Each structure stands twice: as structure tokens, then as C-alpha cells.
């Protein structure tokens, strides 16, 4: 487990962080990770990030400062979650960098290699296709894919009901139990 300055990284019960992941909590911007969440190898979690309970983060994920991730979120490998639309070194050196973090609601699924842009909200139960470039917020239950990401379906469409069972997900959330 690799945790940078672990005094400012608050881990819930049964959290697992796999090898070579850096979790950068600071005094001003601690990192919070909820019960039963797992973070895969080679992930980068920046200051001020909050991650909910029962999340599954696969490997090689970059999560920029102040990103909010709710409960039961799945994030595939190589996902980037960004927070500055117009990044420059000048902003950083002049201390004018103000993060515009993404907010990811409960039960969102993000496919491998997707990019979530700054200031994006992903509504609960939304699904982001592999490789999507998300430049606009996504409504709850929507399935989006492509660059730029566009809606290709909804999780309650007949085609997806088995794969993204919303009722089951809600039961787990209410009871707080995965079994
Ligand atoms: C988004 C997703 C759920 C859609 O599943 P689906 O609807 O069963 O996919 P289909 O193969 O039936 O494709 C439906 C249409 O969307 C397109 N499409 C599907 N996934 C796409 C993607 N990621 N990017 C762009 N287009 C995509 C297909 O080309 C197809 O278009 P068409 O109707 O013009 O032919 C799925 O493709 C996906 O990306 N899953 C995430 C996988 C992943 O990253 N897993 C990580 C764990 S290893």
C-alpha cells in the first residue's frame, strides 16, 4: 500500500489500496475513502478527493484535486478525471489555479480509458462507455459513449436491464450491504 502523508488520508473499514498507488492527502485537503472500497494499482488520487463506500477503482486511474465520487461507483482502467479546462503553468505559479472538480453520483459506471472533463456531473446510475470523452454533464440513468460523448441509451432500456440492474443497486444502497 502506498499512501503519501497518510495522516491526511482517511480510510474507512476494509479499504484496499493496491500496489504503487499514490493517495495525496494534505492537511488542508485530506482524502477520504469510504468503507469497502478498493483502489487498483498505479492510481493517482490527488488532494481533497472524496470516494464513497463500496467503490471499485481499477488500475492506472488519475483523479484530480477535489473530485467527489459517491458510493458504489465503478471506474475502469486508465480513466482520467480532470479539473481544469484551461490549464497553464502561469496559473499554478501565480496561485490562481481554482479546481473545477467532477462530481460523480452513486452507482455510476465508467468504462476503461474514458476521460471525464472539468466541472462535469455524472448523474446516479449513469454509464460512461469505454474511451468516451465526456465534455457535458450526464443525466441520471443515461448511457453515453464516443468523442464527444453522446447518449446511446438508458439503463432502464430493456436491452440493459440485466446488465445494469437499478433495483438491486438501490436495495444495496438502502441496506448498506453488498450480500
Ligand atoms: C457503453 C456500453 C455499455 C454499450 O454497450 P452495448 O450497447 O451493449 O454496446 P453495443 O456493442 O451493442 O453498441 C451499441 C452502439 O453503440 C456503439 N458503442 C458501444 N460502445 C461504444 C463506445 N465505448 N464508444 C463508442 N461507441 C460505442 C456501438 O458501435 C454501437 O453503435 P451502432 O449502433 O452505430 O452500431 C459498452 O460498449 C461499454 O463501453 N462498456 C464498458 C466496458 C468497460 O470499459 N469495461 C471495463 C471493465 S474491464
Q: How far apart are CA 49 and CA 81, in angstroms?
A: 11
Mean pLDDT computed over 39-48: 97
Render pLDDT for 142-174 as a digit per residue (tens, 0 to 9): 999 999 999 999 999 999 988 998 876 676 666
pLDDT of residue 166: 85
pLDDT of residue 179: 47
CATH number of residue 68's parent domain: 2.160.10.10
Render pLDDT for 85-103 as a digit per residue (tens, 0 to 9): 999 999 989 988 899 999 9
pLDDT of residue 7: 87
Residue 99, domain extent: 3-175
Long-range contacts of 44-48 (CB under 8 A, 24+ apart): 45/21, 48/99, 48/101
Bigger pLDDT: 5 or 56? Answer: 56
The atom of ligand 1 lying closest to the CA of 113 is 44
The atom of ligand 1 lying closest to the CA of 143 is 1
Q: Which of 114, 122, 129 to mutate for ligand 1's pocket (most ligand atoms within 8 Å of CB)? A: 129
What residues line ligand 1, using a CB cutoff of 6 Å?
A: 76, 111-112, 127, 129-131, 143, 145-146, 152-153
Which residue puts its alpha carbon closest to atom 16 of ligand 1? 152
Q: Which of 128, 130, 160 to mutate for ligand 1's pocket (most ligand atoms within 8 Å of CB)? A: 130
Which residue puts its alpha carbon closest to atom 45 of ligand 1? 111
162 C-alpha to ligand 1 centroid (Å): 15
3-state secondary structure 17-71: ECCCCEEECCCCCCEEECCCCEECCCCEECCCCEECCCCEECCCCEECCCCEECC
pTM: 0.94
Q: Domains in the chain: how many in total?
A: 1
The atom of ligand 1 lying closest to the CA of 131 is 23
Render pLDDT for 51-66 as a digit per residue (tens, 0 to 9): 999 999 999 999 999 9
Amino acid at each position: 500500500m502506498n499512501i503519501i502523508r497518510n495522516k491526511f488520508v482517511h480510510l474507512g473499514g476494509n479499504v484496499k489500496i493496491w500496489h504503487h498507488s499514490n493517495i495525496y492527502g494534505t492537511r488542508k485537503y485530506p482524502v477520504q475513502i469510504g468503507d469497502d472500497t478498493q483502489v487498483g494499482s498505479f492510481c493517482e488520487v490527488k488532494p481533497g478527493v472524496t470516494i464513497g463506500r463500496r467503490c471499485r477503482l481499477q488500475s492506472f486511474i488519475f483523479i484530480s484535486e477535489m473530485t467527489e465520487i459517491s458510493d458504489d461507483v465503478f471506474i475502469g482502467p486508465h480513466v482520467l478525471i480532470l479539473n481544469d479546462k484551461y490549464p497553464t503553468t502561469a496559473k499554478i505559479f501565480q496561485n490562481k489555479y481554482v479546481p473545477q472538480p467532477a462530481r460523480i453520483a452513486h452507482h455510476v459506471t465508467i468504462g476503461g480509458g474514458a476521460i471525464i472533463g472539468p466541472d462535469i456531473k455524472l448523474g446516479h446510475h449513469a454509464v460512461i462507455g469505454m474511451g468516451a470523452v465526456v465534455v457535458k454533464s450526464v443525466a441520471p440513468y443515461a448511457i453515453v459513449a464516443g468523442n464527444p460523448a453522446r447518449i446511446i441509451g438508458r439503463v432502464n432500456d430493456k436491452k440493459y436491464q440485466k446488465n445494469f440492474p437499478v433495483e438491486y443497486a438501490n436495495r444495496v444502497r438502502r441496506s448498506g450491504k453488498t450480500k
